C-alpha cells in the first residue's frame, strides 16, 4: 500500500475493518463547525427539533449540506466521522458519532467557501464535536464518514402540537436507522390514518382526534416498522410529549 497515499490506504483499512458490521460504506466529505462550545445556535433548526439537550441529542449533532439533507428526510440519521489527511486533525483522535439535527444551507452568492452548496457532501458540526477530531484553527477539514445505526435511550417520543383541526407531531429519539420515512396515527375510534411530512420530522394530519387515545406506526427508511398502541391517553394535550416503543 506504500504507493497508494495516506487517504487511499486509510480507505482500504476502514473498509476491511468495518465490512461486516452492517453499516453503510465510508465516503469522503468535509467538516466545519457552527455555534459556540455550549451548543449555542445549534438548537431548534430545520429538522424541527427543539432543545437538543432535553430531547437527548445534546452536543453530538451536525447540520447537513443539501446533498446529504434530502429535504429533511435524513433528519435523525446517525453518522460516524473521522478527520483525515490534514495537519489540523488531532493526533490520536478517534471516530465521533453524531445525529443529523439541522440543515447547512447553500449560498449561491459566493464562489469560494461554498461547502454546503450542491453537490458537496458536508457536515457542519457542533463546535464540541469538531474539536474532538480537529484543531479550532483548522476551520475546515477533510473527513471520512458513514451512516451507522442510532442507539437511543428510551422509546420514540411524539410531541403533539397544533389545534383540534390540525395535528402536528414531532417525532424524535428514534433508534435504528434514525430516519422516519413514514408515520401513521390511529385514534381509538378510527382506523390507521396516513400522515404527511410537514418539515423535518414534523408530521401532520387534518383529521380531528381530540378525545381519543392515540397510537402510532413509525416506518424507518430501512422499511422496518414499530407500532406503539395507545401512547397518548384520551385526554392527551397539545405541547405534551408521549413515549412509545423504539426500534
* Long-range contacts, 89-93 (Cβ 8 Å, 24+): 89/133, 89/134, 89/135, 89/138, 89/141, 90/132, 90/133, 90/134, 90/135, 93/132, 93/133, 93/134
Residue keyed to cell 390540525:
166
On the question of pLDDT at 48 being above 50, the answer is yes
On the question of pLDDT at 17 being above 60, the answer is no
Q: How far apart are CA 37 and CA 203, in angstroms?
A: 31
Mean pLDDT taken over the chain: 90
Per residue in 180-206, pLDDT tens? 999 999 999 999 999 999 999 999 999
Give the model's pLDDT for residue 202.
97
On the question of pLDDT at 10 being above 60, the answer is no
- Read off the pLDDT band of 60 (50, 70, 90): very high
Quick count: other Cβ atoms within 10 Å of Cβ 26?
19
Per residue in 18-34, pLDDT tens? 343 345 699 999 999 99
The predicted model scores a pTM of 0.86
Report the Cα–Cα distance between both ends of the chain, in Å, rounded. 40
Per residue in 144-167, pLDDT tens? 999 999 999 999 999 999 999 999
What would the mean pLDDT of 35-51 be, rounded to a whole number?
A: 90
Q: How far apart are CA 44 and CA 34, in angstroms?
A: 14
Give the model's pLDDT for residue 40.
82
Residue keyed to cell 459556540:
36
Give the model's pLDDT for residue 199.
93
> Among the residues of the chain, which ranges form H helices?
6-18, 66-69, 127-133
Per residue in 93-136, pLDDT tens? 899 999 999 999 999 998 888 899 999 999 999 999 999 999 99
By the 10 Å C-beta count (0-12 exposed, 13-18 middle, 19+ buried), 58 is classed as: middle
By the 10 Å C-beta count (0-12 exposed, 13-18 middle, 19+ buried), 234 is classed as: middle
By the 10 Å C-beta count (0-12 exposed, 13-18 middle, 19+ buried), 206 is classed as: exposed
* Long-range contacts, 38-45 (Cβ 8 Å, 24+): 39/126, 39/127, 39/128, 42/101, 42/102, 42/126, 45/101, 45/102, 45/103, 45/200
Give the model's pLDDT for residue 15.
41
Give the model's pLDDT for residue 41.
84
Give the model's pLDDT for residue 24.
65
Q: Pick 9 or 112 by higher pLDDT.
A: 112
Q: How far apart are CA 116 and CA 145, in angstroms?
A: 16
Give the model's pLDDT for residue 8.
42
Amino acid at each position: 500500500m506504500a504507493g497508494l497515499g495516506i487517504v487511499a490506504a486509510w480507505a482500504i483499512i476502514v473498509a476491511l475493518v468495518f465490512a461486516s458490521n452492517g453499516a453503510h460504506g465510508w465516503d469522503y466529505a468535509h467538516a466545519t463547525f457552527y455555534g459556540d462550545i455550549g451548543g449555542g445556535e445549534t438548537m431548534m433548526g430545520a429538522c424541527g427539533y427543539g432543545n437538543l439537550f432535553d430531547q437527548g441529542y445534546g452536543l453530538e449533532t451536525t447540520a447537513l449540506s443539501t446533498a446529504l439533507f434530502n429535504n429533511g428526510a435524513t433528519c435523525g440519521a446517525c453518522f460516524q466521522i473521522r478527520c483525515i489527511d490534514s495537519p489540523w486533525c488531532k493526533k490520536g483522535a478517534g471516530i465521533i458519532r453524531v445525529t443529523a439535527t439541522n440543515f447547512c444551507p447553500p449560498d449561491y452568492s459566493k464562489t469560494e467557501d461554498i461547502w454546503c452548496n450542491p453537490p458537496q457532501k458536508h457536515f457542519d458540526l457542533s463546535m464540541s464535536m469538531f474539536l474532538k477530531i480537529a484543531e479550532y484553527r483548522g476551520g475546515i477539514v477533510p473527513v471520512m464518514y458513514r451512516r451507522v445505526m442510532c442507539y437511543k435511550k428510551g422509546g420514540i417520543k411524539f410531541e403533539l402540537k397544533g389545534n383540534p383541526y390540525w395535528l402536528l407531531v414531532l417525532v424524535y429519539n428514534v433508534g435504528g436507522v434514525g430516519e422516519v420515512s413514514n408515520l401513521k396515527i390511529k385514534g381509538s375510534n378510527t382506523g390507521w390514518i396516513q400522515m404527511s411530512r410537514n418539515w423535518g420530522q414534523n408530521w401532520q394530519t387534518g383529521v380531528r382526534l381530540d378525545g381519543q387515545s392515540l397510537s402510532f406506526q413509525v416506518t424507518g427508511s430501512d422499511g422496518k416498522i414499530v407500532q406503539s398502541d395507545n401512547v397518548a391517553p384520551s385526554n392527551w394535550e397539545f405541547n405534551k410529549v408521549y413515549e412509545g416503543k423504539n426500534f
